[in-house]
Structures are given as C-alpha cells and as structure tokens.
Amino acid sequence: MIGEELILDFFNQFGPFALALLSFTEAIIQPIPPDVMFLPMAYDERDNTAMLLWLWFIVTFASVLGAVIGHALGKRFGTKLLDRFGKPQHRERLEYLFERYGTWGMFIAAVSPLPYKVFGWIAGASDMKLRPFVIAGIFGRGLRFGIEAVLIYLYGDAAMDAVVWLLDHEILMAVLLLAILAAVAWWFNKKNPSNSNAG
C-alpha cells in the first residue's frame, strides 16, 4: 500500500500507544489494519505472557472505541450520504437488514477481513443500537486478535508467516467471504420468500 511504511514509521515512534492509535483510527477511516503493527509486537513479546495480553487488550479496546466513533459519524452523516448516492428504498432495506442481522454482521466484520470501519459507519446510518454494536465488536475484535496472539505464542515463526500471508491476501479473502455470505443470504431468502418483502 502506498505510504504504509511512512505511516508505520511515524506510529512506531510511540511504542504501544502507537498500536492503540493505529487501531483506533483504522476503525474510523484509515486503511492500514492494526495487525501489521500488532503482529510484530506480539512476536517480540511472545515469551512475556503479561505483555502479550496487554497488547491484545490495547488493540481490541482501541479498535472498538474507534468503531464507536465511526458509528456516531455514520449516525450523524450516513443517512444523508446513503440518500445522496443511493435510493431511499436501498437505505430502508439496509436498515431492515441491520435491524434483523446487525449484531451477527458486525461480529463477522470484526473477526474477518471485511472492512470493519465501513460496517461501523453503515451500522450508525442504519441506527443500530450501540450496545449490541459494542458487544459484537468486543467479541469479534477480541477473537480476531486473540487468535493471532495465541498462534504466535504457540507456533512462533510458522504462525507469523501464515498470518502475514493472510493479511497480504486480505482483499481476496474479503471478496470470497462476501461471496459466501451473499450466497447464504440468497439461499435463505429463496427458502423464505416472505423475508424479502419484509420491512
């Protein structure tokens, strides 16, 4: 990614606080995932369980806190943007989907390569309640970064190489996941045609 090394060099000056700042801003607007900083830090501290847990807490808490800001921004500006660049019926459909599946959607976005920040903005625009939004984020982000930390703790270099490969192919993984979710949703609506006319 253009400028990624420059941004990471800037953030790296601030130690663990940099991880919090990167994670916080990524959940709102900037494109660099916190994993690219969290993974090397976790690798360096893999023999220090307390520090590894601290880094996991930092990256998870900061990410969810940033998502709350993204949710607030989406609630404030998202409806206008959706109506401006889309159609009101599309927004209404989106609101219905988030009302019905929002918690699971946010959990999937939080734990997967899907763009967490985008889902946060849409959740706000769709007026998703904050409590389930935060709970889904805590469990999803906590699980994502926790799995990375546990794998690095247990398997070291092999886990680091595997997770880095996944990050390098994050866009492909997200596209595949979206395709799978779309297929599941299509199958579900086909089995239950009354749902497609709801809302």
- pLDDT number for residue 198: 46
Where is average pLDDT lowest: 65-69, 90-94, 173-177, 189-193?
173-177
Question: What is the residue type of 56?
Answer: W
Reported confidence tier of residue 177, pLDDT bands at 50, 70, 90:
low
Looking at residue 106, its pLDDT comes to 81
**Sequence letter at residue 180:** I
Which pLDDT belongs to residue 145?
93
Mean pLDDT of 171-177: 55
Average pLDDT in the 62-86 region?
83
Q: pLDDT at residue 25 above 70?
A: yes
Q: How far apart are CA 90 and CA 95, in angstroms?
A: 9
Contact indicator for 23, 34 with CB cutoff of 8 Å: yes
Mind listing the pLDDT tens digit for each residue in 124-145? 888 888 999 999 999 999 999 9
Residue 160 confidence (pLDDT) = 77
26 close to 71: Cβ distance less than 8 angstroms = no
Band (pLDDT 50/70/90 cuts) for residue 196 is very low
151 or 82, which is more confident:
151
Query: What DSSP character marks residue 3?
Result: T
The phi and psi torsions of 48 (rounded to 5 degrees) equal: -115, 90
Distance CA(121)–CA(162), nearest Å, equals: 30
Q: What residue segments make up the domains of the chain, in order of their start?
A: 18-167
pLDDT tens readout for residues 28-67: 988 888 888 888 888 888 889 999 999 999 999 999 999 9
- At 70, is the secondary structure helix, strand, or coil? helix
